[in-house]
Structure 1
Amino acid sequence: MVKITTCTLEYPADGLTMTGHLALPAGSDRRPAVLLGPEGMGLSDVERRRADALAELGYVVLAFDLHGGRYLGDPEEMLARCMPLLSDPDRMRGIGRAALNVLRAEPRTDPDRIAAIGYGTGGAIALELGRDGASLRAIGTVNATTTGRPGEAARIGCPVWAGVGSEDPIMPPAQREAFTAEMQAAGVDWRLTVYGGALHAFHHPPVDHPTVPAVGHHPQHAQRAWHDVVSLLTECLPVTEVLGAMPQTGP
């Protein structure tokens, strides 16, 4: 096991005090960095483990917060907060920019080599950072083939990869087609992976509380999506000194 260090960071965003999880690889040199966004329920141990796994590969990683340190396990409460947020690009960008600024300020971060990876709401925020012109080396999303305001995708200056389940009614074929049309019209270097038979949040391990309909874990595709995320980072944000081999199973 490669030694990493972790800590909790508080920072303001969206009128709240956010609580992020910072994971640092061994050493003292500057490293490429990853901003990691969670599903709509909020930051949990799932994202913390993913941040730690990426730190073991040599990345500085900040898993950012959505709800002021809270995890919204009640679907109605989660939707009441996330639906207005997802319809407000400026709010999403504010949350993303605040976290990105924290990551850039970390002394171990190479500010010229940052990627944004997000799941669900966190993925939508990663895309909005790109549409806002943030300097990123890659954007990767799972369950977030969301579209933005007309013309703003032209500001995306890096490759975009998106993964989605074929049976996800929250991101249905029409939504996926609108997303790819937006990326294509903007001249973005984009890729879309559709995981056959997978529902929404297929990547997320089962939870012990109610969820919105059409959510379901798919173990095989969860592993494939993790490998696809790591492959995107390896291509667009290579680590000069690889600290460890890619985990055979995702966190």
Structure 2
Amino acid sequence: MTTITTRTVEYPADNLTMTGHLALPAGTGLRPAVLIGPEGTGLSDVERRRAEALAELGYVALAFDLHGGRYLADPEDMLARCMPLLADPDRMRAIGHAALDVLWAEPRADRARTAAIGYGTGGAIALELGRDGVDLRAIGTVNALTTGRPGEAARIRCPVWAGVGSQDPIMPPAQREAFAEEMQAAGVDWRVVVYGGALHAFHHPTVGHTVRPGVGHHPRHARRAWHDVVALLAECLLPERPSGTD
């Protein structure tokens, strides 16, 4: 197995001290960079492992924090924190930019080959970075077909991939259609993959605490969604490799 290194990084955002998880691939050269946003419950070992899996594939990966080091297992606590956040694009962008600054501060992270992926609230933040005109090479989201302020999707400068469960009550067909219409009107290179029979957060392993109705793990589609995300990153980050990189 490829040897990777990890470290915890602290940084300020949203009037909190955030605690992210940075994973670096083997070697010393410049590598493509990936920002990873967690579900609304917050950064957990699930996202940390995904950052490490991407590092094993050769990416510099940062799983960022949403709640100042807290994991909001109680659904009501999560909603109280996330609903105002999701209603405030500028606040989401500020959280995303703070994490992106940390990722780009890593000397091995290639600013010119950076992607943002995310799940739920973290995916909404990835999309808002795109709508803010950040020079990303790809955006990938699961459970986050959120729409933005009128006209701002035209600032997205990269392909957008979005995955959603067909039975997700939080991202129902009307929301999927609104997202598709926004992306199409903006001229974005976009794709939506609907995973048949899957609920909200289908990608996330079963947790030992109460979850909202309509949330459930779907192991087969979880594997497929991860493969789709990895394929997106390979397509958008790996073809053009500057000379002198490993």
Range of TM-score over shorter length: over 0.9
Paired with 1:193 and 1:230, the residues of 2 have a C-alpha distance of 14
Opposite residue 182 of structure 2, the aligned amino acid is E
**SS of equivalent residue, structure 1 residue 163:** strand
Question: Partner of 2:49 in structure 1?
Answer: 49
1:177 paired residue number: 177
Listed as ranges, the gaps of 5+ residues in structure 2 are none
Q: Identify the residue that residue 70 of structure 2 maps to in structure 1.
A: 70
Q: CA deviation at 1:51?
A: 0.3
Shift of 1:212: 1.1
Distance 1:124 1:111 in 2: 21
- Residue in structure 2 matched with residue 20 of structure 1 by the alignment: 20
Aligned to 2:125: 125
Mapping for residues 79-90 of structure 1, pairs under 5 Å = 79-90=79-90
Deviation readout 1:90-121 (Å, 9 max, x if unpaired): 00000000000111111010111100000000
Would you say 1:113 and 2:113 are equivalent positions? yes
> TM-score scaled to structure 2, two decimals?
0.97
Instruction: Note the aligned Cα RMSD (angstroms).
Output: 1.0
Q: Percent identity?
A: 81
Q: CA deviation at 1:238?
A: 1.0
Q: Secondary structure at the match of 2:183?
A: helix
* In 1: Cα distance, 2:30 partner to 2:69 partner: 28
Residue number in structure 1 paired with 2:102: 102
d(CA) in 2 for partners of 1:35, 1:74: 26
Cα distance in 1 between the residues matched to 2:135 and 2:17: 25
Quick one: which amino acid aligns to residue 190 of structure 2? W
SS of the aligned residue for 1:139 comes to strand
SS of residue in 1 equivalent to 2:170: coil
Structure 1-normalised TM-score?
0.95
Letter in 2 for 1:156: I
Within 1, Cα distance between the matches of 2:199 and 2:146? 16
Query: Distance between the aligned counterparts of 1:237 and 1:172, measured in 2?
Result: 31
2:214 is aligned with 1:214: yes
Question: Counterpart in 2 of 1:143?
Answer: 143
Gaps of 5+ in 1: 242-251
Distance in 2 (alpha carbons) for counterparts of 1:136 and 1:110: 11
| 1:198-209 equivalent positions in 2, closer than 5 A | 198-209=198-209
Give the C-alpha shift of residue 227 in structure 1: 0.2
Q: CA deviation at 1:26?
A: 0.3
Q: Supply the distance in 2 between the matched residues of 1:180 and 1:55 (Cα, whole angstroms).
A: 31
Q: Give the paired residue count.
A: 241
In 1: Cα distance, 2:179 partner to 2:14 partner: 26
SS in 2 for 1:171: coil
Task: Give the match's secondary structure for 1:122.
Answer: helix
**Aligned position for 1:244:** none
